[in-house]
Amino acid sequence: MTIQSVGVVGAGQMGSGIAHVFSLAGYEVALMDVRADGLGAALQKIGENMDRQVARGTLAAEEKAGALGRIRTTVNLPELGMSDLIIEAVAENEAVKFNVFDELRPHMKQTTILASNTSSLSITRLGGRTERPELFIGLHFMNPVPVMQLVEVIPGIATSKETLEAVTDVVRRLGKTTVIAADFPAFIVNRILIPTINEAVYTLYEGIGSIVDIDQSMKLGANHPMGPLELADFIGLDTCLAIMNVLHDGFADTKYRPCPLLAKYVEAGWLGRKTRRGFYDYRGEVPVATR
């Protein structure tokens, strides 16, 4: 399974970051999104992030130019079908992912590996929709992709050994570290992280501490680089809620019950940094706690 070309479905924060690291590693990348303006914004963001790497001395200017030259964009999903590896990085919604797989199916090469960047959904169930589950796998990149060193590799029950070895080798070529996670809800990182954030929201909900005090407590008392509520805003409160629901549904255990306050913020459309309001209000020069 020789992988030289990579297709990325979705040009949001995760998809653009995935395209960034693959192009720097020498792969030909096709970045697809249904919105042409989203593709333009993604290329601009990739260029800006590479400029930061050049400024830090971790990337040469000519390397940047070469990497950007290896990224092409398209709004036509079937064009990705001839890629050796396709990574789906659309919304954390099973129905949306199924639609992507259904549209891709008749256009893929027989040897194409299809991967999902899902942060919590069943790889076995997603792979079953593709009709070639032996060539399906989970590749969960961390956010922001160019900075974070870890990638969770999640084989489903039907994923072949050859597929697992091929994608593991690819991730190592990116200069990142892999961990192999079993196919259970939220895998390793989010199985631990998101319930921690949910507990922080409960701590706020029950009036035990303010937003600022909760975040300060974990930064200064547990040496966390970012407080849990600040981190929730960075991740997206809708994503945190979706993962908690996957955990709650998958294990049927009340310890994974999403905090009602988290659900209320999502209902309000206060999703964090991406909407400029979450547990903090980002519309001014300095973030201000909303409670």
Residue 21 confidence (pLDDT): 98
Which tokens hold the place of 66? 């070469």
Q: List the beta bridge partners of residue 5.
A: 28
Q: Domain 5-180 - what CATH class?
A: alpha beta
Which tokens hold the place of 215? 């975040």
How large is the average pLDDT for residues 55-75? 97
Please tell me the pTM assigned to this model. 0.93
DSSP letters spanning 104-163: HGGGS-TT-EEEE--SSS-HHHHHHTTT-GGGEEEEEE-SSTTT--EEEEEE-TT--HHH
Q: Which residues are catalytic?
A: 119, 140, 152, 190
Q: Domain 191-289 - what CATH class?
A: mainly alpha
Question: CB-hemisphere CA count at 13 Å for 96?
Answer: 12
Using CB atoms within 10 A of its CB, is residue 156 exposed (0-12), middle (13-18) or buried (19+)?
buried
Residue 230: pLDDT above 80?
A: yes
What are 75-96's pLDDT values in tens digits?
Answer: 999 999 999 999 999 999 999 9
In the chain, where are the structural domains located?
5-180, 191-289
What are 125-139's pLDDT values in tens digits?
Answer: 999 999 999 999 999
Q: List the beta bridge partners of residue 280.
A: 289
Residue 167: partners with Cβ closer than 8 Å, 6 or more residues away: 3, 85, 113, 115, 137, 139, 153
